[in-house]
Amino acid sequence: MAVVTDSTAALPTGAAQRWGLHVVPLDVVIDGTRHVEGVDLTPEELVEALHAGAKVTTSQPAPAAFTEVYQRLAAEGATGVVSVHLSGELSGTVASARSAAERAPLPVHVVDSRTTSMALGFAALEAAWSAAGVPPEDRLVAGLPEHATAWRRVVGRHRAPLPAADEVAATARGRADEARVWFLVESLEYLRRGGRLSAPVAALGTVLGLRPLLSLADGRVVVAEKIRTRRAARERLEAVAAEAMVGRTAVRIAVHHLGQADLAAEVAARLVEVGGAHVREAVVADAGAVLGAHAGPGMLAVVVSGS
C-alpha cells in the first residue's frame, strides 16, 4: 500500500522520504515563470518576489502528474494507493487526483482532507504509518534515533495484519477532521487576490486596521477572531492552540512560518511548555511556496493534531 499527498502538506525536510510518502508538487507562477514547489523555488525566493511586487499565482497539478505517480507505484509493486490532499474548497488538486484515479492501473482511494499545511501533513503521515504497520510508539515525524531503529531491525517484533486501503483512507480522514489550524498574516490582500477571502472580509485588515486570526472551517479560510494589534494577535494564536490541547492525552504540534524561523521556534517552545507531557512531538517548518503565496510574508500558523 502506497500513500500519496501534495506539497501543501508542508512536511518538515526529510519526513516524506523517511516514511515513504510520495509528494506531488503544486506550481507557483512568478511574473509568468512557472516554478515547481520544493524543486526550484525556495520560501526565501518567494518572499523576495512578493516584496518586489511580483505577480504571483499558484496552479494545481494536472491529472497527468498524478497518473504518472500512480503508474510508477503500480510498476514498483504497490497493490493500492491512498491519496490524501489539500481541501477541495481551496484548490482543484483533489479533483485532479480523482480524475487520475479513474484511469489508474491499481485501486486509488482519494481523500479530500478539507484542510492544509501540517493538518494535511499529519493526516498523510498517519496514513503512511498505518499502511506500513508502524507501531504507535514509533510514529514520530522526525523518526526514531538511529540506534533505536537499528535495535528494532535486529530484534524484530510481531506485526498485526496490515490494514486495507479503505481503513487507511479512513484513518487519514479522521486525523484531518480532528486537527485544528490557525494562522496570522501581515496582510489579507494576498488571500483576497487568490480568491481565498472575499473583498469585504479582506477590508477588515486594510480599512479597519484589524489583525484577524484566521482558521479553516468546512475546508475554507474563515476569520475566527478580530484582534487589534500584532502582539495581541500572536498571544491569541498561542492561547487558542493551548486551549485545543486541553482534554487530549497526546498531541502533535506544528508551527509554520514564512521568513520567521526564530519566532516560529519560540512559539513552538512555549506551546511545548504549556502542553507538557501531553505534547508527543512539535515540529517547525516553512509554510512552503504555495501557502506562502496566498498568505504573504510574515505568515505564522499553528496546527494542533492528535497523536
Domain boundaries, the chain: 2-26+61-177, 179-306
Tens digit of each residue's pLDDT (9 = 90 or more) over 74-110: 999 999 999 999 999 999 999 999 999 999 999 999 9
Tens digit of each residue's pLDDT (9 = 90 or more) over 276-287: 999 999 999 999
- Specify the higher pLDDT residue, 215 or 158: 215
Residues 6 or more apart from 302 whose CB is under 8 A from it?
181, 182, 183, 237, 238, 241, 253, 254, 255, 256, 267, 271
What letter does residue 79 receive in the DSSP assignment? Answer: S
Q: Which three cell numbers stand for residue 226?
A: 478580530
Strand partners, 301: 183, 256
Residues 6 or more apart from 86 whose CB is under 8 A from it?
6, 8, 9, 93, 94, 113, 115, 116, 120
Q: CA torsion sign, 33 to 36 to 41 to 46?
A: positive
Distance CA 225, CA 234 (A): 12
Interval 184-189 mean pLDDT: 77
pLDDT at 207: 47
- The amino acid that residue 183 corresponds to is F
Length of the chain in residues, anyone? 307
pLDDT at 212: 81
pLDDT at 190: 66
Residue 190: what are its φ and ψ, rounded to 5°? -65, -40
pLDDT at 21: 97
Distance CA 41, CA 49 (A): 11
Mean pLDDT, all residues of the chain: 89
- Specify the higher pLDDT residue, 289 or 122: 122
pLDDT at 51: 86
Q: Are 256 and 291 in contact (CB under 8 A)?
A: yes
Tens digit of each residue's pLDDT (9 = 90 or more) over 124-155: 999 999 999 999 999 999 887 665 665 455 54
- The amino acid that residue 250 corresponds to is A
pLDDT(7) > 90: yes
Q: Which CATH number fits domain 2-26+61-177: 3.30.420.40, 3.40.50.1980, 3.40.50.300, 3.40.50.10170?
A: 3.40.50.10170
Tens digit of each residue's pLDDT (9 = 90 or more) over 217-243: 999 988 888 888 889 999 999 999 999
pLDDT(158) > 70: no
Reduced 3-state DSSP string for 196-262: CCCHHHHHHHHCCCCCCEEEEECCEEEEEECCCCHHHHHHHHHHHHHHHHCCCCCEEEEEEECCCHH
Domain 179-306 of CATH type 3.30.1180.10: yes
Interval 250-256 mean pLDDT: 97
Q: Give the pLDDT band (50/70/90) at residue 171.
A: very high
Residues 6 or more apart from 129 whose CB is under 8 A from it?
19, 138, 139
Strand partners, 215: 182, 222
pLDDT at 155: 47
